[in-house]
Homo-oligomer: A and B are copies of this chain.
Amino acid sequence: MSFADRLAHAVRSKQSVTCVGLDPRKAQLPAPIRDAVSGDSPDQWAAAYTQFCHEIIDVVADKVPVVKPQAAFFEQLGPAGMIALGEVIDYARAAGLLVITDGKRNDIGSTATAYADAYLGGDSPWGSDSLTVSPYLGRDSIEPFAEVCDSREAGIFVLVKTSNPGGGLLQDRATEGQLVYQRVAELVTELNQDRVGESGYGPIGAVVGATYPEQLVELRQAMPSAWILIPGFGAQGGGAEDVKPGLDANGLGAIVNSSRHIIFAHARDPYRESFGDQRWQDAVAAATDDMNAQLANR
């Protein structure tokens, strides 16, 4: 089954559009995980990241359709971290979750194919269902990924309109009758042509930040066949009303990512008081349930 159709199936069966971002950061790990690290070796931190992410996966596997590990934090640990990333991806897939690796990779021709080969599909070294991809290099930097998506029933999410304040520097520039991000959205739609599956969606998704709700409305219409990955919910300021326009009439077509607000819920109210570090897994469960409920009330 294509990635787009698998994602539609997962959203329906879990009754959730929440994507849990797996962004392990040394300083924010709950005390029981952090305190188990003696010394400062990459191997020890990698083991801590693996345990942390595996326990999160145990908690959320029945609650959400998809998780999104952030490659940068694993890469920061060196090769030991990249081994951990692979373990986390495999563990999530074995738990019935779809996996989007957030790597924002990009290059041209056979180099782009090498990245796709590294991350896309269950048999690849980091066997993800999908990968985030940056578009600055243009169409010939996205097509090699799209072709690997075809052969491996995988997907990509192309950065279109990102959630950060500085994203507008290039993305919002007015150019030849359209903004730069609108041209990228058009490219996404072009690449999905002839690739749309039963769900009505194709393998080429788009990243659109929750912090730009008006643009989300516009981009939902401009990319009718693209799954939209919406970051910026929670910690970055986007709310439930901001992200709901990303969904289609059937409640499909968008997934909403939260990283810190879920995985480090033990450190913020109201979960800190109820659970704290010692019951951090319960904080993750409660924060996930709350996010699902917020996104369901529509």
Contact = CB atoms under 8 A, between A and B. Distances in A.
Given A159-B136, A170-B184, A173-B175, A118 B72 contact: yes
Interface residues of A, number: 56
Contacts of A25: 110
Given A173-B175, A174-B176, A137 B118 contact: no
Assembly stoichiometry (copies): 2
A132 to B, nearest CB: 9
DSSP class of A's interface residues: helix, strand, loop or mixed?
helix
A86 B75 contact: no
A170 B109 CA distance: 17
Most chain B beta carbons < 10 A, residue from A78, A109, A176: A78
B166 A140 contact: yes
A106 B107 CA distance: 12
Contact of A134 (B111, B112, B134, B168): B134
Contacts of A170: 135-136, 138, 170, 180, 183-184
A82 interface: yes
Interface in A83-121: 83, 86, 104-112, 114-115, 117-118
Question: Which A-B residue pairs are the 6 nearest by beta carbons?
Answer: A78-B125, A140-B166, A138-B166, A138-B169, A175-B175, A72-B114
26 contacts: A25-B110, A72-B111, A73-B111, A73-B114, A75-B114, A75-B125, A76-B118, A78-B126, A79-B82, A79-B86, A79-B125, A82-B82, A108-B162, A134-B134, A134-B136, A135-B170, A136-B159, A136-B162, A137-B159, A137-B167, A138-B164, A140-B164, A170-B180, A173-B176, A174-B176, A175-B180
